[in-house]
Chain A
Amino acid sequence: MPQSPTNPALLRPARTRLIVLSLLIALLIGMLPKPSGLLPLMPDILALVLIHWIIYQPERGGMTLAWVLGLLVDVSHGSLFGQHAMVYVAIAFLTIQLRRRLLMFNLWQQAFQLVPIFLAGDGLNILLHLFAGNAFVGWSYFLGSFTSALLWPPISNLLQLPQRRATIPDPE
């Protein structure tokens, strides 16, 4: 596992195009038809990409972005309008709080620290569902937090690639 430069100072600022494109792709992945048996295990790619940009581009990825993305997810999932928005805002808030600490660790350690954030998001989602009068789906719902966290290193690595390649000094 290559050590990634986790200090954002070593990374070039990401292009806005890349941020928008990555979020869009993540949103589309969320819309893909999924096998209903594995539904609780499905990772939340959009949340991962969002967290990545909040950590590495805090000026651009923020809570407003999280809220708007949440609304889009609400429409595509057909859930209550504002439900995922609130969950994403909470995730974004927790990420901002942990941002400086997260940057001191490598990607796998970061993934470990992100688990509570995802669990909190899932917990909030379940609470909102229960308030809305839906049935409890069982504890397996929380498994998605762990698959999401497992996917953090590859996805974060992938999103850092375009910026990192540019920082490699020319061999002269």
Chain B
Amino acid sequence: MEATPFFNRGPSPLAKLVIFSLLSIAMMLTDAYFSYLNPVRQAISFLMHPLEEAVTEPFRFYPTISHFFVTHGEIVKENQDLRSRELLQAAKLTRMAALEMENRHLRTLLQIRETLHSPSIAAEIIHTGQDPFVQRVLIDKGTVHNVSDGDAVMDNTGIIGQVTRAMPLDSEVTLITDKDQTTPVESLQSGIRGIVVGHGGDNELEIPFMPVNTAIKEGDWFVTSGIDGVYPRGIPVAIVTRVERNAAYAFARITCRPVAGPNRYRQVLVVGPDQPQLRPSKPGATLSHAARPAQP
């Protein structure tokens, strides 16, 4: 028989509220500033992965099933293979366009090292945004498939975001529209480099800290600059929709819209860092290299 409800068992609800709240706050702070809790999160995510798969699988295969009644199964399979191949080629094509632009700007004369073909992994978006606050999607490839934190994620039109939490079997991608998510870019038209910052919520991006007399115009394309060593060069990111120049402020207000969107395609491509050797592994080396031409 159950114990009688007349007697209090364990701590009172208020005490529990305080204890659990403090515990939650401590965990949130740890999660936000350190990475101690990542193994716990990864373990839970690993255990919950089958459930997530089970729930999203019907949605993912619904198009396949509806196809089956019209065409032969093999044709559907072939179609899917072609589609994933098309995605890979589209990614290459967008880079081609950017490379052509690059040639036109005679950047090769500046003896920039030729861009390497970065390793890319085809993935699928499992779900988009459970939480209206954060602009994040979950993709079905994780550390097991060589996805790692910081990888760029693109669809066949351009960058959609960056892997911010790679878990064993799936990864979280923070979209470029998330608040304070930054993407280093350069303009195709004027070559001006800048940073695209997300607004959160609305489908808008901003390029801050541009002088009022900047050459950026409406309709300018911005592609990844690749200077950070995280994103590969030349992937489209944003198109300028509005430039507000007000002499009262130090900077122009430049609003853009993202080229790609996670709400358009399921298939995405996870792209690793383009030139690992460009990553600032040895800060002293690049400094001395830069300092050398200055000396006569």
B129 and A39 form a contact (CB under 8 A)? yes
Minimum CB–CB distance for A39 against chain B, Å: 5
User: Considering the chains assembled together, what is the distance between the CA atoms of A19 and B132 in angstroms?
Assistant: 29
- A75 x B28 contact (CB < 8 A): no
A78 touches B138 (CB 8 A): yes
Q: Are B55 and A97 within 8 A (Cβ)? A: no
Known pairs A78-B138, A82-B23; A132 contacts B32 (CB<8 A): yes
- Write out the residue numbers on chain A whose beta carbons fall within 8 Å of the beta carbon of B133: 79, 126, 129, 134-135, 137
A78 touches B131 (CB 8 A): yes
CA distance A90 to B19 in the complex (A): 11
B165 on the A face (CB < 8 A): yes
The yes or no answer to A112 lying at the interface (CB within 8 A) is no
Residue in contact with A31 in the complex, picked from B25, B27, B55, CB distance below 8 Å: B55
- Is the Cβ of B17 less than 8 Å from the Cβ of A89? yes
**Bound state CA distance, A75 and B45, in angstroms?**
6
Known: A28-B51, A76-B48. A39 touches B32 (CB 8 A): no
For the complex, would chain A's binding face be called helix, strand, loop or mixed by DSSP majority?
helix
* Closest chain B residue, CB of each to CB of A141: B132
CB within 8 Å for A67 and B20 given contacts A75-B44, A80-B28, A135-B199: yes
- Of residues 194 through 240 on chain B, the ones whose CB sits less than 8 Å from some CB of chain A are 199-201
- Option from A28, A62, A76, A80 in Cβ contact (under 8 Å) with B31: A80
Q: In the complex the two chains form, what is the Cα distance from A156 to B2 in whole Å?
A: 23
A163 proximal to B (CB < 8 A): no
Count of chain A residues with Cβ under 8 Å from any Cβ of B? 47
- Report the Cα distance A34→B44, complex, angstroms: 22
Contact A34 B24 (CB under 8 A): no
Place the interface of chain B in its size category.
35 or more
Q: Which of B48, B55, B172, B179 contacts A72 (CB 8 A)?
A: B48
Q: How far is the CB of B147 from chain A (nearest CB, A)?
A: 15
Rounded to whole angstroms, the CA-CA distance of A32 and B30 in the bound complex is 28
| Contacts known (A67-B20, A82-B25); A30 close to B130, Cβ less than 8 A | yes
Measured CB to CB, the nearest residue on chain B to A95 is B13
In the bound complex, do residue A78 and residue B172 qualify as a contact, i.e. CB atoms below 8 Å apart? Answer: yes
Contact A128 B52 (CB under 8 A): no
Tell me if A75 and B41 are in contact (CB < 8 A).
yes
**Interchain CB contact under 8 A, B51 and A86:** no
Shortest distance from the beta carbon of A149 to any chain B beta carbon, whole Å: 19
Chain A residues closer than 8 Å to B45, beta-carbon distance: 75-76
- On whether A34 and B2 interact (CB within 8 A), knowing A93-B16, A134-B179, the answer reads no
Q: A40 on the interface (CB 8 Å rule)?
A: yes
Beta-carbon nearest neighbor of A58 in chain B: B5
Given contacts A72-B44, A79-B134, A80-B32, 10 further A-B contacts (CB under 8 A): A31-B130, A32-B59, A33-B56, A33-B126, A36-B263, A39-B129, A59-B3, A63-B20, A81-B28, A133-B179
